[in-house]
Amino acid sequence: MDRKENLEFWIRNRRSTFLNGLQPGGRIDRSVIEKLLDLAVWAPTHGLAQTWQFKVFSGSGLEKLYLKQQQIYKISTPPERFNQEKHDRIATKSECVSYVIAVLCKRDPRKRFPRQEDLVAAACAMQNMYLALQSFGIAGYLSTGDVCYDPAMRNYLQLDEEDACIGFLTLGIAREGYIPPERKRLPASEKTEWMID
């Protein structure tokens, strides 16, 4: 397989493996996480602002993160939308999850560029890791949602006013024989307008 085919393979075969596809008790070696983080920082970044930052949770740190997520969900969810099963399920995630990487955008202190560019750079860093999961033999998914963006989570992650949490890259080992559902995408032609003469 040449380099072009190899690149296309990893992009087209990136998969999200959710909790039901992760092996209980599966553990990832820390060196793999360090390699993922080293790949993340090769994302494009205007003026080398490098606005990404990562907080890595494992072991008791992971349990504390999920406890905080439970608390935030309970406090911030209106009673008519509160789902006790969802609340309880948060605490059991650590049975299958080995690491969570909180992918953060720390605003360039000099504010040289629009905030959106700082956010995009951090999101690209997250995508670098996402694309590499399968090559390291690990699995996972990006978790976002109301709890991710809640002010209480921002405080927990020690984010300043213009910083942002891009999401939680939730990682584990895929269950043996697990095949993620087929992904579908609209063809680029349906989303493209050619602005040419």
Q: What is the pLDDT of residues 42-61, one digit of tens each?
A: 999 999 999 999 999 999 99
Q: Distance between CA 158 and CA 58 in Å, rounded?
A: 18
Predicted local distance difference test score (pLDDT) of residue 106: 95
Predicted local distance difference test score (pLDDT) of residue 12: 85
Give the count of beta carbons closer than 10 Å to the beta carbon of residue 131.
Answer: 15
**Section 176-195 average pLDDT:** 91
Cα torsion 194, 195, 196, 197: sign:
positive
**Section 95-113 average pLDDT:** 94
Predicted local distance difference test score (pLDDT) of residue 9: 85
pTM of the full predicted structure?
0.93
Nearest residue to 137 (alpha-carbon basis) of 35, 12, 58, 42? 35
What residues does each domain of the chain span? 13-172
Predicted local distance difference test score (pLDDT) of residue 1: 61
Q: How is domain 13-172 classified at the CATH fold level?
A: NADH Oxidase (3.40.109)
The residue with tokens 């989303």 is 191
Q: Distance between CA 130 and CA 132 in Å, rounded?
A: 5
